[in-house]
């Protein structure tokens, strides 16, 4: 599984570099070693998803207070890079590091049935959130409450961003196991957003989006692939695309229906096989953290 995923990741890197993107990599760390705090111990996860726990907004890098014990020290792999960016003028912020005691988690949690109210495995013991529950649109950011992001975490981020004139909007997800926004709500270009109709009520979108084109994603094409069966991700990772600019995007090659729809909407999809990456965390957006883009923070609303 690791070899096949690494082969596809190497192909993704070659595509990005061919499209003019400079690719930086974290330093390898031994995720098998057990780490300890006063309250718990855990082995690591992996370094496949830099998007999950780091949020870059303008010139600021924010280390998020993830509730994953296995990822509590994941930032060690990025220290060298972040120190380089800090030396070059970037702001470098860390949200309050959570304690992650047993009291944060609902030990009796079970996935709600479709007709039941949404429940979460975490409570409001302390602020926690993953950066992957956030979508950025210039000076506006959208966030979902999930099994890794609580209301306290949303309040902390709203106050922090508000000090810099940025706005945070909360979206309600209908997913029974909500985690990370990039299978739900994906901004593609100024004034255009792609949404998953199973997880989002189009009529319930924030008023700020009323002037935007809301593009309804086609249902995912079925995939007959062993790695897809082992993936912990939703089939809706089909819309987990990476925008290179306002037109070009990297899209899973096994999703021809989505590629055709994107072309009809005026985009330029770049298909690439990436299913073997799924068991390690998601798809193209998860596998990347864009730290530098040309231009400035704009106000699209």
Cα gap 35→49, rounded to integer Å: 20
Which residues, 6+ apart, have CB-to-CB distance to 89 below 8 Å?
59
**Residue 115: φ, ψ to 5°:** -90, -5
Structure tokens that stand for 180 in this block: 């990370």
Residues catalogued as catalytic: 130, 180, 286
SS3 of residue 301 by DSSP:
coil
Count of CB atoms situated within 10 Å of the CB of 244: 18
Q: Return the structure tokens found at 80.
A: 């060298």
Q: Is residue 39 helix, strand or coil?
A: coil
Structure tokens at 187: 């901004």
* Pairwise CA distance, residues 273 & 131, whole Å: 25
Residues 6+ apart with CB under 8 A from 49: 132, 280, 281, 282, 286, 287
Rounded to whole angstroms, the maximal C-alpha distance in the chain is 55
């Amino acid at each position: 599984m690791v070899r096949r995923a690494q082969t596809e990741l190497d192909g993704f890197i070659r595509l990005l570099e061919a499209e003019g993107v400079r690719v930086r990599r974290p330093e390898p760390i031994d995720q098998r070693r057990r780490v300890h705090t006063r309250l718990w111990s855990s082995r690591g996860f992996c370094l496949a998803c830099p998007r999950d726990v780091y949020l870059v907004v303008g010139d600021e890098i924010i280390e998020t207070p993830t509730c994953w014990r296995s990822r509590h020290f994941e930032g060690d792999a990025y220290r060298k890079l972040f120190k380089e960016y800090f030396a070059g003028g970037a702001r470098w912020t860390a949200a309050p590091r959570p304690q992650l005691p047993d009291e944060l988690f609902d030990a009796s949690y079970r996935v709600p049935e479709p007709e039941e109210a949404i429940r979460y495995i975490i409570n409001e013991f302390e602020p926690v959130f993953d950066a992957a529950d956030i979508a950025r649109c210039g000076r506006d950011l959208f966030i979902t409450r999930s099994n890794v992001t609580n209301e306290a975490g949303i309040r902390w981020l709203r106050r922090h961003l508000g000090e810099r004139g940025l706005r945070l909007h909360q979206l309600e997800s209908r997913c029974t196991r909500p985690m990370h926004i990039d299978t739900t709500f994906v901004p593609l270009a100024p004034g255009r957003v792609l949404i998953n109709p199973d997880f989002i009520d189009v009529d319930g979108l924030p008023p700020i989006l009323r002037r935007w084109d809301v593009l309804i994603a086609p249902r995912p094409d079925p995939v007959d692939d062993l790695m897809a069966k082992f993936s912990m991700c939703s089939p809706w990772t089909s819309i987990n695309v990476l925008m290179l600019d306002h037109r070009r995007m990297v899209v899973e090659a096994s999703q021809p229906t989505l590629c055709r729809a994107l072309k009809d909407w005026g985009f330029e999809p770049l298909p690439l096989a990436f299913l073997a990456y799924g068991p390690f965390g998601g798809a193209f957006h998860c596998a990347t953290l864009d730290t530098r883009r040309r231009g400035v923070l704009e106000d699209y609303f």
